[in-house]
Every structure is written in C-alpha cells, then in structure tokens.
Structure 1
Amino acid sequence: MVFSATLLVACKGPEGAVESATAGAAPALPVQIKEVQEQDLPLTLEVVGQAEGSKQVEVRARVTGLIERQRYQEGQPVRAGAVLYQIERAPFEIALQQARAQLAQQQAQLEQARREYERLRPLAESRAVSQREADSAQSTLQLAQAAVALAQAQVREAELNLSYTTVTAPIAGISGRSLKSEGALVNPSTDSLLTTITQVDPIWVRFALSEAEVARLRQSGGTQVRLTDAQGAPLLGPGKLNFAGSTVDVSLGTVPLRAEFANPQQRVLPGQFVKAHVELGRVRGFLVPQSAVMQNEQGRMVWVVREGQAQLAPIQTGGWHGSDWVVTGGLKAGDQVILNNLMKLRPGAPVTVQAAATAPAASAASQ
C-alpha cells in the first residue's frame, strides 16, 4: 500500500507538485492605491466656527408713550437713520410749549431785573439810595439770569424728548422681530426694548484653536481664513483674522479667534455654524485621503505597496488640504498608498493592485 501511494504521487509529476504548493499559499488581496507625488501645498487647519454680526444693537424707547406706528418691515434691511417706530407726539409737544412759555416768562423777569439794577446802580454811586438796595437789585438780576438758564435747559430737554418719539435705526443692518406692537405702551425704565438690528456685511466668525495651533499660526504670520459649509462647498470669499485672544481658556485649553468676511448677499447669517479653514503658510508634502490614514498610540501611519507586499509606513502630518491629510514626512514620491481593505492587511501580506487613483500635482496645488 505504501509503495502504491508513493508511485501514485510520483506519477503526477512536477505539475502536481506546483499545484499543491500554490494551494497552500495565501491569495493576494486586491487593493486600490494612490500613487503620491510631492507638491507645494497650502497648510490649513479646519475648525468649526459660528457666525455673528459685526455689529448688533438693541433699539429701545427713550420716552414713555404709546406706539402709534411701526414704520419698518421685520427681517428686512434698514439704513442708518431710517424711522422704525413713531411714539405719540402730542404730550411732548405740549411739554415743549410749556417749557418755551416758561422760558419767555423768565426772560421777561430778567429784563425787568436788569432795568431795575441799571436804574439803582448810579443812584447808589451818588448815595441817593442805600447800597443795600443796589446789592439787592444785583442779586435779583443774578437770580433772573440763573432762572433763564434753567428755562433754556428745560426747553432743550423738551425738544430732545420730542425727538425721541421718532425711533430711528442707529446703524444699517438687518432688522429683527418687533417686540412691541402698535398701541403698546413703552417705558424707558422698565420695558423699553423694541427690536434689534444686526450688521451682517461684513460678518464675523468666531472659532478657537489650541495653544500649539495658535503658536504655529503666529509663527507663520498667516491671517487668511476661508469658509465652507458642511459639505465642503465654499461660502464666501477669503477673510482675514481681526482678533486673537490674549488668554487661554483654562477649561478647554483653547484661544478664541475671530475672522471678518465680506457678506454682501447675506449667504452667512448670525448664529450659523460653518467650517473655518485657517491658512498657516505653505509646505512641501503629499496629499493622502483621510480614510487611508490610521492612528494609534504610536502615531499616524498608512499602508503602502512595496515589492508586491503591504507594509506599514509611519507618517508625519502637517494639517488639512480639503478632505486630505498633508503628509510632510514618512513617504517619498511614487509611493503607492493603499486606500481600501485596510483592516484585512497584515505586514508582508501579498497584494494585487486593482486600479490607481493618481492626483496630478498641478491640479492639487491649484486647489
């Protein structure tokens, strides 16, 4: 029986031996790759920011009265100085007339006191009347002058209160919801808020960076910021940093920053969340899709194809460019980075390249 089995194997010849060896080897895993090329790339940081108006004011009533008319349309742009509300004028017109009448009365008394003093002064000098009478006339004149000054101030106050019955927009911007309706009674001391106006062109975007990121930003001298929506589509033209905090938030370890953007078509509204891309200068590196980069306690790494086998390559990253990592170390031009089947790979495992996704350097650098 042993002889027969040996003879049977021998009769299969060399082709049978090759088939047995092939059956015992692990099959090559099909993978997709990207052949990377070194490029001159903008180095950016992507953070979530929130928009806010560059100016926001509360429009308040400054006199007590009934709102006779609302003169603006809620949610629409208004220019600086535009009339928003009209508060009843009649009580303040009457108060102004009374103040002017009081002023006229005080001015008449002033003229009488001046004539009396002018009459008594030469008589006192010639001792025709006592000095006491002359001093009394002088004091009466001074009191009349003070009463006229007070009456003039009261007229000015009445004129100012009358002007406050016409409520105007202090700045140009987008009007808010009216908090008071026509016929409502407003009081400047207890219930004065009427509406708000927000200036959205330019618009500001607030965000925060870590201490290390702020240090890199200051070192690079970069001030340009771009905005995109959740899908990565551009929102506005490039903006610039206009504020950087001088202290670190001890609870988060971040520094607040703010950028300003032209927003003539109101594409970004206050309160809206956006993605801010802060430029930190330019760097030589490779673009690697985010999905191809793995991370553990030793750092970031990618799988690359070398001599038909999968090998792990530790990398150093410098930030983001679009949805790709900017790899500044660990790769060389022409390396084939594996894009899929990452969880199935093992160091030294044979792989078969299915298709290459090559991004030309020129097109990537122009993004």
Structure 2
Amino acid sequence: MTRVIIPGFLALFGHCYPKFLRTAGIDKQVCVNFCCYGLMALLLMACNGNKPAQPVPGKNQAIPATIVAVQPVIMPVSLETIAQTEGAKEIEIRPRVGGILLKRLYTEGMAVEAGQPLFLIDPEPFQNALAEAKAALQEQNVRVLRAKSDEDRQRQLLAENFVSQRAYDLATADLAIAAAALQAAKVRVQQAELNLSYTTVRAPEKGVTGRSQLSEGTLISANSSLLTTLTQLSPIWVRFSFADNEVARLGGHLSEKNVHRVKMILPDGSEYQQEGKINFAASKIDPQLGTQQLRATFANEDQRVFPGQFVRIRVTAGESRAVFMVPQVAVLTSDRGRFVYVLNDSDEATQRPVIVDNWMGKDWIILEGLQTGDRVVVDNLIKLMPGKKIEPQVRDQLPSLQPGLDSINN
C-alpha cells in the first residue's frame, strides 16, 4: 500500500509545487522528504490503532492483607464515664480559740502526720486564765473544808440537843453547795487547760497541707477563721454517675454488691494499677439530671492521683454475654455507621455493618454484625473496596487483641 501511495503523492506534489516556495529559495527535494516522512508516520499510527489495547499489568491482582478469624469471648457488660477525684477526707483547719496568730509551724504543701503542730496562737491570755482557774479551785477547796467542819460541829450539837434541826440542815446544805462549787472549779480548770492546748493548732489526720490562708500576726476568731486545708490522699475517692439508660444496660440499680469491677483510667490514658470498690451508690435516679450518683475508693499509697483530677471510670457489672473483639483499626465509619471488611468464600472483601459497644485496650467490643469464624481484614484497609480480591494472611490472634482477652479472663 505504501508503494502505491508514495509515488502518487510525489507526482501530485511536483505538479502543485508553489511558486512562493521557489521564490523563497526552499529546495524542492527537502520539502519532498519532509512530506514523505510525515505521511509514513501517519500511516504507521493508523495501522497500530487497529490493534487491541493491552491490559494494564497487575490491575486485577489480589492484594495481600492480614485477616483474623474472630471467635466469641464471654465478658460482662462494662461502661465508661468521666469522673473526678477527691480526697477521702478534706478537712478545713480552723482555730478553736481566738487570738493573735503567732507562727506557722509547717511547710505549705507538705505531708504531715496526725497530731503534728500547724499553727501557734498567742498562749499568754490562756495561761493567765488557767492560773486564775486554779486559784479559784484552791479557794473552793478551802470553802469545802470549812463547810464540812461546820456540818460536823452541827451534827454533834444536834445529838446533844444544843441546836435545832434547822441549824443542822443549813450546815448540811452549805456543805453540799461548797462541794458542787468545787466540782465547777475543777471543770473550769480543765477547760482552761484545754483552751491553752488549743493555742497549738494540730493536724487532726495524716494528709497533705494546703496554702496558709492567714498571715502571722493576724487576729483570728474561734471556729470561724480558715487557717488552711488538709487533704487525705490515701485512699482517694472518685465521684461519677451513669445515665438511667446506662444503668439499665448494667443490670439495673448499681451498688457495691452487683458491681464486679471498677477500673480507673488516668488522664495520660494509662490504667491505674489497682482496682477500686464502690463505697457509695445513690438509692434513686436524680430526677433533674437523670443519673445515678456513685463513688468508688482506690488505694493511693504512692500518691499518684491527686484530688480534683478528671479521670475515666470503667465499671463492669450485669450478666455476662458473648461478644467479639476486633482491633480498632479494623472498624471503619461511613455515613451509614460503622463497618468492617469481611472475606467471603471467594476471598473478596465485603462490607459488614457492626454495632459496637465500648473499646477495651486497643480493641472494639462488637455486639452485633459478626459471626463465629468470620475473617475480618485488619490491615491494608486503605486499598480495599467491596469486591476487591484479597490474598489472606491468616493470624490466629493479633497482639492487639490480647489485652482485651486478658482483662476478661482475669
């Protein structure tokens, strides 16, 4: 075909060779060669266009992905909620007597023992009051001795009929009055000694002190002036609540008897090493908030947790149930909810809607949507789409699943 087209083209070109090309001095043979090469290129492109398109290598090849065959695990119902810590005892330190605050005897923010001195109030007025009370006591002792002597004398005279019965009765009454006054004087001495001891303000419990609220030299009032606070850090209490529908999921009214386990998750995401116990559960649902108030106690000997921190509490209660544990990375979200990729019998990826509960460790707890033995894809998810062929790489148990199972078995 080329042998026919090219000679014809040359004859046509020689007949139509324009005069302006001759005038411009362009060689005729150069133009002929250029046009021939262009025509041959067009013919070759036309011939190659009739060949069928070759498939792109690897377009329909299976992609490798790790799968795990899920198995049900038995675990009780658990829920998490935000909570706040507080000291088991948070004590306001106030003076029991008034006076001039002479000195602070502790280092602010440091731990103190029970009975350790914290403040000193001017003791001089109370020392004087004690001395006065002791003097009054001594006076009453003398009065009692005199009244007893009078009573003895009147008894003897009455026996000899030298005095009337009335005179003896008056002497007996005076002795009783003096004895009662003596007891009152003793009590005043005890109170004066007690007030003097109150001038040294001591820590009522072991704990951590707060900032001093009053400066030295301040005139303070008894039972009203706040000196500082004392917080007991061990044990530590945690307050939290659950909505009424969450309480129903946990089996109804919560109490220390039907709660199996209480765990605390610290602000950094780590789990507190010791479990807690419920030490308070409200007897009814708060009608304004629709929640049940609860409180748990945790040992805090290392003082890792401080009052006022926001933490998370995981409560395990209710009846056990069969669920599936799937790594968090395997659970995806769409506008229709959460789903996972499951392999069918042809090793093709299919989307499976699931209903999740909470997460445990690095795993989601799957309540509905999976069946025993389902092969769930747990990696290479970015390349997946429904119907995609998968080259499965089976693992019996992923490391990320183990914490969840351990927490159940324990």
1:169–1:67 Cα change, 3 Å: same
Match of 1:324 in 2: 363
How far apart, CA to CA, are the structure 2 residues paired with 1:173 and 1:250? 36
How far apart, CA to CA, are the structure 1 residues paired with 2:334 and 2:277? 33
Deviation at 1:293, TM superposition (A): 5.0
Match of 1:242 in 2: 279
Q: How does the TM-score come out when normalised to structure 2?
A: 0.73
**Residue-pair matches, total:** 346
Match of 2:323 in 1: 285
Match of 2:28 in 1: none
Q: Tell me if 1:269 matches 2:303.
A: no
Deviation at 1:47, TM superposition (A): 1.5
Deviation at 1:252, TM superposition (A): 2.8
Name the SS of the counterpart of 1:62 in structure 2. coil
Match of 1:4 in 2: none
1:128–1:283 Cα change, 3 Å: same
What stretches of structure 1 of length at least 5 have no aligned partner?
1-7
1:286–1:229 Cα change, 3 Å: same
Which structure has the larger Rg over C-alpha atoms?
A: 2
**Contact between 2:87 and 2:237, CA under 8 Å: does it hold in 1?**
yes
Match of 2:90 in 1: 56
Match of 1:366 in 2: 406
How far apart, CA to CA, are the structure 2 residues paired with 1:260 and 1:357? 44
Q: Which runs of 4+ in 1 moved over 6 A?
A: 26-33, 354-357
How far apart, CA to CA, are the structure 2 residues paired with 1:293 and 1:253? 32
Name the SS of the counterpart of 2:194 in structure 1. helix
Deviation at 1:205, TM superposition (A): 1.2
Name the SS of the counterpart of 2:215 in structure 1. coil
How far apart, CA to CA, are the structure 1 residues paired with 2:272 and 2:144? 69
Select 2:184's aligned residue among 121, 144, 150: 150
Q: Tell me if 1:208 matches 2:245.
A: no
What stretches of structure 2 of length at least 5 have no aligned partner?
1-45
Name the aligned partner's letter for residue 221 of structure 1: N
Match of 1:124 in 2: 158
Deviation at 1:140, TM superposition (A): 1.6
Name the aligned partner's letter for residue 248 of structure 1: I
Q: Structure 1, residues 152-197: CA drift from partner, whole Å, max 9, x if none?
A: 1111110110111111111101111111222222111542x11111
Match of 2:102 in 1: 68
1:305–1:355 Cα change, 3 Å: closer
Select 2:297's aligned residue among 242, 260, 274: 260
Q: Tell me if 1:197 matches 2:230.
A: yes
| % same residue | 36
**Contact between 1:46 and 1:276, CA under 8 Å: does it hold in 2?**
yes
**Contact between 1:80 and 1:172, CA under 8 Å: does it hold in 2?**
yes
Select 1:176's aligned residue among 210, 230, 234: 210
Select 1:223's aligned residue among 260, 280, 293: 260
Q: Tell me if 1:304 matches 2:342.
A: yes
Match of 2:134 in 1: 100
Match of 1:185 in 2: 219
Name the aligned partner's letter for residue 360 of structure 1: L
Name the SS of the counterpart of 2:222 in structure 1. coil
1:321–1:116 Cα change, 3 Å: same
Q: How does the TM-score come out when normalised to structure 1?
A: 0.81
How far apart, CA to CA, are the structure 1 residues paired with 2:74 and 2:50? 61
How far apart, CA to CA, are the structure 1 residues paired with 2:335 and 2:159? 106
How far apart, CA to CA, are the structure 1 residues paired with 2:321 and 2:61? 37
Name the aligned partner's letter for residue 326 of structure 2: V
1:31–1:97 Cα change, 3 Å: farther
**Contact between 2:95 and 2:223, CA under 8 Å: does it hold in 1?**
no
1:42–1:173 Cα change, 3 Å: farther
How far apart, CA to CA, are the structure 1 residues paired with 2:394 and 2:241? 35
1:264–1:53 Cα change, 3 Å: same
Name the SS of the counterpart of 2:227 in structure 1. strand
Deviation at 1:243, TM superposition (A): 2.1
Match of 2:118 in 1: 84
User: Greater shift after overlay, 107-116 or 318-327?
Assistant: 318-327
Note the aligned Cα RMSD (angstroms).
3.4
Q: Structure 1, residues 252-295: CA drift from partner, whole Å, max 9, x if none?
A: 32211222212122111000011222233764432234562548
Q: Structure 1, residues 76-126: CA drift from partner, whole Å, max 9, x if none?
A: 111111111111111111100100100110110111011011101221233
Name the aligned partner's letter for residue 402 of structure 2: S
